[in-house]
Homo-oligomer: A and B are copies of this chain.
Amino acid sequence: MKPFYEKTIHTKPIFQGRMISLQVDEVELPNGQTSTREVVKHPGAVAVMPFTTDGRMVVVRQFRKPLEKEIYEIPAGKLEKGEDPASCALRELEEETGFAAESLQLVTSFYTSPGFADELLYIFEATGLTQGKVHPDEDEFVEAQLISLEEGLELMAAEQIHDAKTVFALMYWQNKRLKAQLGK
């Protein structure tokens, strides 16, 4: 049963870039009328919440051109064609922070902005970290940092943590902490 389904009548390709592409779909609405949908195609991405044994999380500080500001985020990156999300997570973690992880678990996945983009983000939890050497992509400038949950919540209040995946990470972390306090 798909009562709200919108059938594509025509797809107009607009742009094909390095990271995203854009198309405008003409659709038939459930009431028979037509409308247009602007759709950004994205290869999908992964993000990692890397937890240390002393109860801290690794974040990376980087400049984000669309925001024109630097923010702290959990390590993340886009999927290469055909790449397994777990392999991508370990690769991005090591490239951006130098940390290798012994254990990696998928926590959840979500679409970042379903109104206009098909980007699906997989979120992993990494533990058993060992420090190695950082080697980001050549056009990527990042700096790793370890934060406590309290520091994370302060950075969030100051809008220096200000993106969906890292805000999710803090909520998830806080949940874990509260569950542990309740003995759950």
Which residues of A pack against B, CB within 8 Å? 2-6, 14-15, 17-20, 22, 24-25, 27, 29-31, 33, 35-42, 45, 61-67, 70-71, 73, 76, 78, 108-119, 121, 138-139, 141-143, 156, 159, 162-165, 167-168, 171-172, 174-175, 178-179, 181-182
- Cα–Cα, bound, A165→B24 (Å): 24
Complex CA distance for A118 and B65, rounded to whole angstroms: 9
A61, A142, A164: residue with the most chain B Cβ atoms closer than 10 Å: A164
> Across the interface, do A65 and B139 meet the contact criterion of CB distance under 8 Å?
no
At the interface, is chain A mostly helix, strand, loop or mixed? mixed
With a cutoff of 8 Å between Cβ atoms, the chain B residues found around residue A22 in the complex are 14-15, 22, 40
CB distance from A65 to the nearest CB of B (A): 4
Once the chains are docked, how many angstroms separate the CA of A181 from the CA of B25?
48
Copies in the complex: 2
**Contacts A14-B15, A65-B39, A70-B2; is A117 near B115 (CB within 8 Å)?**
no
Give A14's nearest chain B residue, CB to CB.
B15
Check A30 against B141 for contact (C-beta < 8 Å): yes
Task: State A27–B63 Cα separation when bound (angstroms).
Answer: 12
With both beta carbons as reference points, the residue of chain B lying nearest to A29 in the complex is identified as B139
Cross-chain contact A163 with B66 (CB below 8 angstroms): no
Report whether B6 and A17 are in contact in the complex, using a CB–CB cutoff of 8 Å. no
Cβ of B115 and Cβ of A64 under 8 Å apart? yes
Q: Contacting A66 at CB < 8 Å: which of B18, B30, B39?
A: B39
